A = this chain, B = another copy of it.
Amino acid sequence: MGEINIKMLALELNLSAATVSRALRDSYEISSETKARVIEMAKKLNYEPNPFASSLRQQKSKTIAVIVPAIANNFFSLAINGIEEVARARDYHVLIYQTHENSEIERSFLMRLSSGRVDGILISLASEEVDKRQLKEVSEKLPVVFFDRVHDDIEGVKITTDDYTSAYNAVQHLIENGCKKIGYLMALNSLSTGEKRLQGYLDALKNNGFPYQPDLIITNSGTVEQNYSLVRNFIAEQKPDGILSSIEDLAMPCYYACKDLKLTIPDDLKLISFSNLAHAELLNPSLTTINQPAFEIGVEAAGILFKIFNNRRYAFNETITLKSNLIKRESSMRAE
């Protein structure tokens, strides 16, 4: 039957080529039933669409953009290194954009990028409100791959880690080492990544017969100073004996707050944090971390972007999940 194209699909479905094309681009003009029919047939006939054919015919920028919340973060800098390694092998340049967790800045980057400055985008979402419509518009113009900080409601290829299981196992480890009152320092709460970590925490407590205590969950509030006060007050008032932090920016304040409150980690408070903090081993005490395979995530995400460029693969909505690793250190140790 040879290479399947849109016309052949349309013929098979008894639809116009334009309708099939719009359905494949998930256009709002097409009903969801028709979309479902088109996608089913596309899969059946092993149709490999080439949504970027037109841009490929034009001159390529040989540049890809990486949009991350922060560069001063070992997870993101390792992921960027992974992306750069893949890009360099293909003689592509990587532009790095930093959103500072600000969705306004993110929107502005996306708007400018969609005008064709780059061939594709790798993005880890800002944790503020996500503009789903804009992301969709951009991803209709050029390939977008999401990594780590993703949103389930946005279609696209996503590379994540096992956030639920990682959080669950971390809490289980704290309970096994004697914790009775475990706090959760929440961030990324508007994102699926954050929801899954929270759910892992909640389920681990529940399955161990611990009651649900909303006062034990706090959410980050912005500046370094604000986060410090928040964490310090939380520890002083709630007196948790264990804490799981969903980001490093909330775990480091625990060290400073414990110093200030004359509490000892791990004797008075055990601490575990996401994710790849550099030199966690050299801290006093060394910090138990949930290490994400950051470099591999970058390699995987960039690899998929280049597959899309080369038209070898195009997934409407696929999620690839890599495994994180709980590295047990002094901060979560059981008292002798």
Contacts and interface: CB of A to CB of B under 8 A. Distances in A.
B97 A96 contact: yes
State the copy count for this chain: 2
Given A98-B84, A98-B96, A72 B278 contact: yes
A100 B84 CA distance: 10
Interface stretch (A51-59, A73-81, A188-196): A73-81
A105 B98 CA distance: 21
Contact of A283 (B84, B88, B279): B279
A97 B64 CA distance: 12
Contacts of A335: none
Contact of A252 (B74, B256, B282, B286): B282
Contact of A96 (B95, B112, B278): B95
A255 interface: yes
Contacts of A81: 72
A187 to B, nearest CB: 17
Interface residues of A, number: 33
A197 to B, nearest CB: 22
A10 interface: no
Contacts of A100: 84
A278 B255 CA distance: 13
Contacts of A78: 72
A284 interface: yes
Contacts of A88: 105
Contacts of A112: 93
A280 B109 CA distance: 33
A293 interface: no
A96 B256 CA distance: 31
A41 interface: no
A71 interface: yes
Contact of A93 (B72, B77, B109): B109
Interface in A226-256: 252, 255-256
Interface of A: 70-72, 74, 77-78, 80-81, 84, 88, 93-98, 100, 105, 108-109, 112, 117, 252, 255-256, 278-279, 281-286
Given A93-B109, A256-B281, 6 more contacts: A71-B77, A93-B112, A95-B96, A252-B279, A255-B279, A284-B284
